Structure 1
Amino acid sequence: MHQKIVCLFTFFSLYLPINVPKVIAQEVSQQETTYQISQRPDTDNPTEVAVGVYLIDFDTFDEIDESFKLNGYLFLTWQDQRLAFNPSQTAVNSKTYNIGEIWTPNIKFLNIESVRETAYILLKVEPDGTVHYKERFTGQFNSEMNLQRFPFDRQKLRVIVEALDNIENIVLLADNSKTGAAKDAFLTGWRIRDFQAFPRVRVSEVEEESFSEYVSEINILRYHNPYIWNVFLPLLFIIIVSWTVFWSRSFESNTVIATSSLVSAIAFNIVVVEELPKVSYLTFINGFILIVYVFICLVIIYTVVKHWLDLEKKKELSLKIDRTARWLVPAVFGVSNIILIAASLL
């Protein structure tokens, strides 16, 4: 009996010192592993993150406020070898995680007006450690627009993604395979032409650091045909009608034609003004309307001068001016619009 007790005591004394440290070591190892996963995959080198923004559709578009609201997908892809696994041992070809369970890059939309709305987020890891981040989002974005060529303008709508960590920690790359738009994406009054994406570096003068950015540009072209039919052609007809005074010798008729043309142009402008962008600079269509006003006013002045020449018995001079004005005024009108077109292209 005494020998049995000695054997049991010897067994426990040998077992406990050896195995208790092993258990403690395993727990510490698990804590260290969890802690490391919460850090960047490679702390010695910058983590490269491929970014893609895919447009589903536009919700709103305000060219005056230079803003637009869209919903789409945000794609992020990076490599994390710590998450690699053997699919033959796990019986799965990919693993899914929740936000907070693994490291994810700290990024933001730089030109968003408020916090973006997120419908859902998917995190999937492939056997080689490639991590795929997919987010369905909605956001109101600001993007500078130039309406000087309105209504023949083209705009670039930008969505800018920036890493909150400096470029020494995170480098953003453009994933062109995940940049684009759905076939049924639609923007009223505009045609979606193409997309382009590129990375760039922003240098912060305040923080004296450099940050990596991803820029997605959506190129859109305005449908200008409605403005040609509803604005340019009617005003062109009005100005052409006013030029009939160059063939008429009746002061009363010429006065009616000239004043009627001016009143028609003013009334027409009142009707279409709501369709024109309210900006602080002169657009192409504003320039055209202004030229029409100037030439109608010149016609009114011409009518008065011609009548004065007739009263002064200077009919020959009046006829000579008529013959010159018949080709000179339309020519100057055409040149004025060519100058306007050239100015809008600068």
Structure 2
Amino acid sequence: MRRIKRLTGDSSMVESFLPITSWKRFGWPWLLIIWLAFLTPGIWATNASALQPCNLDEKFPTTRPLPTDGGPTNIHVKFFLFDLLDIVTVKQEFTLDLFLNVNWKDDRVGALLRKAGVKRCEVPFHAIWQPDLLTLNGRSIEFSLPQVWILSDTGIVEGNNRIIGTYTAHFDLSNFPLDTQSLAVTYISTKFSPDELKVSFEASDHSAEFTESAWIVSNIQASSSRFDFGTVQDQKNYQFRFDYVIQVKRQTEFYVWKVFLPLCMIVAVTWSVFWIDPKQLGIQTSIGTLMMLNLIAFLFSLQEILPKISYLTRMDVFVYTSLTFVFLAFIEALITGGLAARGKDTMAQRLDLICRFVFPLGFVGITLWFWQVI
């Protein structure tokens, strides 16, 4: 202390410095002990609250739990749509990222847990009765969580999982690109009929944004029905089925800028032949030929964005109607040029005047039909 005082020349600094030096010499071990004392109960509490396997002496029931009225077993199902990853209309498939919660009540399970003094525990997927749900239209499915059932002493059996799956679908593209599609995930029970199982769907929700940006989710609903497995021993074999259906609507902005507006401009340019003197047949035919070639080249460029299907869509009708308007304008130019060459200028000009109104009005009509205005 005297040495420090000689160096600093201030006794107050020495007094304020001593507690720090003494704490550094003797306080750090005590600080570590206090920190461990506070941390250890938290670790113990975490380990104590972890869900343990159900190691009971008695086996869990493997038969369907019967309600008191003897009716079907009520299964509660809840979905949450994390992400709409992809929709491939050409392959007739879509990919979803889903959270699925399934639960039901079995008083026999609750009695076993209360007898063993266990509040909650978990069992392997096939160690207890379950509704045996099979994804009917699943192509590839991955489960992010362990496939186990969580049991409670109240008798509730619950299963949770996050599922990333690709599913098949039957898309109707006749209204493309103004189409609305149904993405259905279909589950069936291979062992139980609609008289034995009943599903209660809780409110489903979804994330605000999805990876697949070309579609928007308009509605989500679920329903149960029966699935016909065919005839067995002269009797219809019906099994339980329920569907989780996502209604999606295609975003049209891309097709407006990439298809609709370029087509309208190509068609409108061909109408310039109606304002050119019929005697100048060379200019008229040059414009018509050039627009025909431009439209054909444009149609080839559309092959990458139009669906490859065997029937005509709304977009196909609009494209081929535009091609027809360009072709008819070219034919009209040849007719008026021929009339002018034979000295029938008045008739040629009258035909041009009529086409100046008929062609735009006709194209406006097909445009209104395309956008479902009429």
Coarse TM-score class (shorter-chain normalised): 0.7 to 0.9
CA distance in 2, matches of 1:222, 1:81: 47
Q: Which residue of 2 aligns with 1:263?
A: 293
SS of the residue 2:309 aligns to: coil
By how many angstroms is 1:175 displaced? 1.8
By how many angstroms is 1:93 displaced? 4.4
Amino acid paired to 1:39: T
Q: Residue 308 in 1 paired to residue 338 in 2?
A: yes
Q: Residue 136 in 1 paired to residue 136 in 2?
A: no
By how many angstroms is 1:149 displaced? 1.5
Q: Residue 42 in 1 paired to residue 72 in 2?
A: no
SS of the residue 1:40 aligns to: coil
By how many angstroms is 1:306 displaced? 0.7
CA distance in 2, matches of 1:168, 1:337: 48
Q: Which residue of 2 aligns with 1:104?
A: 130
CA distance in 1, matches of 2:191, 2:127: 20
CA distance in 2, matches of 1:203, 1:338: 43
CA distance in 2, matches of 1:168, 1:274: 45
Aligned residues: 311
Q: 2:230 aligns with which of 190, 205, 219?
A: 205
Q: Which residue of 1 aligns with 2:29?
A: none
Q: Residue 52 in 1 paired to residue 82 in 2?
A: no
Q: Which residue of 2 aligns with 1:226?
A: 254
Is the contact made by 1:189 and 1:223 (CA closer than 8 Å) also made in structure 2?
yes
Is the contact made by 2:194 and 2:225 (CA closer than 8 Å) also made in structure 1?
no
Q: 1:161 aligns with which of 184, 187, 199?
A: 187
CA distance in 2, matches of 1:183, 1:255: 54
Is the contact made by 1:151 and 1:284 (CA closer than 8 Å) also made in structure 2?
yes
By how many angstroms is 1:196 displaced? 0.8
Q: 2:212 aligns with which of 187, 198, 204?
A: 187
Is the contact made by 2:76 and 2:202 (CA closer than 8 Å) also made in structure 1?
no
By how many angstroms is 1:104 displaced? 1.6
Is the contact made by 1:161 and 1:214 (CA closer than 8 Å) also made in structure 2?
yes
SS of the residue 1:317 aligns to: helix
Q: 1:62 aligns with which of 88, 99, 107?
A: 88
CA distance in 1, matches of 2:237, 2:268: 62
User: Over aligned residue pairs, what C-alpha RMSD do you find?
Assistant: 2.6
Q: 1:245-289 CA distances to partner (integer Å, 9 max, x unpaired)?
A: 111012122112111111111122222221111111111111111
Is the contact made by 2:227 and 2:240 (CA closer than 8 Å) also made in structure 1?
yes
Amino acid paired to 1:135: N
Q: Which residue of 2 aligns with 1:292?
A: 322
What is the percent sequence identity of the aligned residues?
24
Report the TM-score when normalising by structure 2. Answer: 0.76
Q: Which residue of 2 aligns with 1:236?
A: 264
Is the contact made by 1:201 and 1:213 (CA closer than 8 Å) also made in structure 2?
yes
By how many angstroms is 1:48 displaced? 2.0
By how many angstroms is 1:138 displaced? 2.6
Is the contact made by 1:93 and 1:126 (CA closer than 8 Å) also made in structure 2?
yes
Is the contact made by 1:122 and 1:135 (CA closer than 8 Å) also made in structure 2?
no
Q: Structure 1 residues 283, 212: closer, same or farther in 2, change over 3 A?
A: same
Report the TM-score when normalising by structure 1. Answer: 0.81
CA distance in 1, matches of 2:318, 2:194: 53
Worse-superposed segment, 303-312 or 332-341: 332-341
Q: 2:355 aligns with which of 305, 322, 325?
A: 325
SS of the residue 2:347 aligns to: helix
Q: 1:5-32 CA distances to partner (integer Å, 9 max, x unpaired)?
A: xxxxxxxxxxxxxxxxxxxxxxxxx99x
Gapped runs of 5+ residues in structure 1?
A: 1-29
